[in-house]
Structures are given as structure tokens and as C-alpha cells.
Chains A and B, each alone.
Chain A
Amino acid sequence: MKTGVQTYTVTLLKRKWLSKKTFEIFLSLPPAFTFKPGQRISLILDGHERDYSIVSAPQESELTLCIRMVTGGKLSALLSVADIGISISFNGPCGYFTYKPSSRPAVFVATGTGIAPFCSMARSGISGFTILHGVGLSDDLYYASQLRQSARKYIPCLSGSKELPANAFPGKVTQYLERHLTPGAYDFYLCGLSKMIRDVTHLIDVRFPESLVYTELFY
């Protein structure tokens, strides 16, 4: 496959907290760096390396990543307190989780920060998709307003909250797909943790077998 992975050194420009455990970092954009919405980069800091999907669109002037503090996660902890202005390296762009236009309706399914590649797609002008964002609490529905603008249907799925925002589904993304998505052939794009990807893929095999499935595993 054609790849153009290179190493770049950039500056940490800004950090913005989106919820208690999730924040965005903004990096300077190297002049020669190009990527497709949905691709990721491998961030390197103090000997720690981890892949992050890009949130921003290729035409934007900064590179934005969405990072969740994970228990025992060394890089996320470092990035949560790193001084603004420091240099950070990354390898990229990597991955093939990009939007493929087709005659079938696109259904994007994300859990947590797995929403990142879909944000990049929406910010790049891709529209008309159905998108499900599975989170525990409504605080983690970052990017809701951005996604609503591009989506045909935006469905927040809240599995751990009693207070539901407007149009939210009380349950997991799999439950929504099982109960509310009309049987048919779709292009599914799944991004999140392995359990969601496994459960949704099995559901697709049974309920939407003529569909295509593209996945990006977060771990």
C-alpha cells in the first residue's frame, strides 16, 4: 500500500480540557505534512509512544488531537501537564480508516475518544452520515454541536447516565443499532475499544450482512 510515513518535530501550542478526563492538544502543523481525514499519528514524548487519531481537518492551520487520561497511561499523563511550547515528535500519517464514498448510507459508530476520526471527516466537509457516539456520561459528548451540523442524524448513546440530553439514547451503541437501525446494507465505520468493535461487528454479521465494515481499534 502507498504510505508516506515520516517523522516530524512540532510545537505544543495549546491544551484545552473537554471534560474531567479528556483534553485536546493543539500542535503546530509541519509545512510538508499532509493527511487524510480519519488517519492517525504516532506521538512520541520522553520515550513513550502512542497512536492518536487526528481531530482537525487537513485544511486547518493546527493539528488537533483528543486525549483521554487512562489509568496507567504514561503519555496521556505527560501530555496533560506538559509545558506549552515544548517540542514533540510524531510519525505519520498512518492508517486507512478514511471515508469511502458509496451509494450505501454511512453509519459512523464511536465510543469515547473514538469520535476523533469522525470529527476530522466532518470538519473536512463530509456530511449526510448517521453517527452514534457511545459514552458513559453526557460530559463526554464533546464535539456534539460540530457533528450535528454535518450529520443526517447524530445519536448520543449514554450507558451510565440517568440525565439524558435531548435526543439521546439511553443505552449502548449496540442496543441502538439492534432496536432502531432499519435492516439494510450500510457502510459501517467503527472506532473505539475492542469490545464495542467486536459486539457491533457480530451484530452487523447477523442483522446487516450485506454491509461493509471498516474498523479502527483504540486500546
Chain B
Amino acid sequence: MKIYTGTGDRGKTSLFSGERLFKNNARIDAYGDIDELNSILGALTAHFSDEKALIEEMRQIQSDLMQLSAWLATTPDSALIESLAEISTEQIAFLEKAIDRLQKGLPVLKGFILPGGHITAAWAHVARTVCRRSERKVLPLLNNLPEGKAAEQYRKSLVYLNRLSDYLFVLARHCNHIHGISDKLWKR
């Protein structure tokens, strides 16, 4: 299938809800960062070989991020928000359970760690920082947003991204741990 139309050649793009916006608009910037995060998770997953449970987990998170992007690509007053699947508390609970599971086998953390180690841990740290940036980009979209379904979903997105950042931090440590690499502590 041909994927290019050239409609964005002059710096504008279309939202799912039909508005034409410049590509540096805050809304586009926010879901652009989530797209970047999703791609980094893809790169991270490409380095997993035998970790089937983690691969499955990653696929679920990537789908969730597509869902978050759809909310951001739809203006809150559009009737199209009714066609979007709502972000559920179960999706957030899924991350919390995963964090608890991964953390069980890890040594106690005694300070700040330097991002890096095994390639999968390094990618997980990159993903974590982009996840934090996504959070910072979604936050201003809540300003002046009237109460309603969209505002509720944006708040859920912020919770999801906050939890995902924590998950990625623990995942990075887990990736080092299963490969026999110790996290390097920051020495002042």
C-alpha cells in the first residue's frame, strides 16, 4: 500500500479528528514523543531472544501507547472521542504487577545508578527518559481542558506514563541482573 500522499509537505498534518495543524503544535509534539517511545520499545524488544514473557509484555505496552496516541490525536470536543477505547485502570494495574514481579529478584538499590550495562538495559533507560519527556508533553494539554471524558483520559494517560517510566527503570535493572551485570552506582 502506498503510504505517502504529500499532504504534509508544507508543514501541516491532520489529526484523527480532522483538524489541520502545523507539525510543531503541542498536540503533535506530544504524540510524536509517544511514537518515539514506542519505536524505542521496538528496538529494545528486538534485543530480547529467549525472554518470551517480556516480549509479550512489551507488545501489550506498545498497543497501549498506540491507544494513548489516538486520544492525543483527537481534539477533546470532537464526537470522535466516542469511537476511542478508554484507557482502563486494568492497564495501569498490569504495569504495577509487572514492576512488582521484576523487582522481586533484584538487589536492593543503594544510590543513583548510571544508565547503561547490557544493551537491553541501555535501551530500557533510553525508553524511560523518552517516557518522562512524553509525560511532560502531555501535561500542558490538560491546561484549560474542560472536565469530561477527554480530561479524564488525559489524566489516566499521565498515570500510565508515570507508571511506565517506573516499569522501564525496573526493567533496565532486571535486564542487567539476568545478564549478570551489576548496575554501576554514581560515585560523587
Give complex CA distance A213, B19 in Å: 6
Contacts of A162 in B (CB 8 A): none
> Which of A101, A198, A201 counts the most chain B CB atoms within 10 A?
A201
- Closest B residue, CB atoms, query A198: B6
Contacts of A187 in B (CB 8 A): 18
A215 pairs with B7, CB closer than 8 A: yes
A1 pairs with B70, CB closer than 8 A: yes
B20 pairs with A205, CB closer than 8 A: yes
A96 pairs with B83, CB closer than 8 A: yes
User: Quick one: which of A164-219 are within 8 Å of B by CB?
Assistant: 187, 194, 197-198, 201-202, 204-205, 209, 211-215, 217, 219
B19 pairs with A212, CB closer than 8 A: yes
Interface residues on A, range: 20 to 34
A2 pairs with B83, CB closer than 8 A: yes
Contacts of B9 in A (CB 8 A): 198, 202
B85 pairs with A213, CB closer than 8 A: no
A204 pairs with B20, CB closer than 8 A: yes
Contacts of A20 in B (CB 8 A): none
Contacts of B70 in A (CB 8 A): 1
Contacts of B84 in A (CB 8 A): 1-2
Majority DSSP secondary structure for residues of B touching A = loop
- Closest B residue, CB atoms, query A50: B1
Give complex CA distance A219, B70 in Å: 24
Give complex CA distance A21, B83 in Å: 36
A101 pairs with B79, CB closer than 8 A: yes
A205 pairs with B10, CB closer than 8 A: yes
Out of B5, B14, B18, which one reaches A194, CB within 8 Å? B5
What is the distance, in angstroms, from A40's C-beta to the closest C-beta of chain B? 12
User: Quick one: which of B9-33 are within 8 Å of A by CB?
Assistant: 9-10, 12, 14, 16-20
> Which of A1, A51, A197, A214 counts the most chain B CB atoms within 10 A?
A1
Out of B20, B78, B83, which one reaches A213, CB within 8 Å? B20
Query: Can you pick out 28 interface pairs between chain A and chain B where the beta carbons lie within 8 Å of each other?
Result: A1-B83, A1-B84, A1-B85, A2-B84, A2-B85, A96-B16, A96-B80, A96-B83, A100-B78, A100-B80, A101-B79, A102-B79, A194-B2, A194-B4, A194-B5, A197-B7, A198-B9, A201-B20, A202-B7, A205-B10, A205-B20, A212-B17, A212-B18, A212-B19, A214-B14, A217-B2, A217-B5, A219-B2
The 10 closest A-B pairs by CB, nearest first: A212-B18, A201-B7, A198-B6, A219-B2, A194-B5, A197-B5, A198-B5, A2-B85, A214-B18, A198-B7
4 more contacts with CB within 8 A, not counting A205-B20, A212-B19, A213-B18, are A96-B16, A198-B9, A205-B12, A217-B2
Binding site for A on B (CB under 8 A): 1-2, 4-7, 9-10, 12, 14, 16-20, 67, 70, 78-80, 83-85
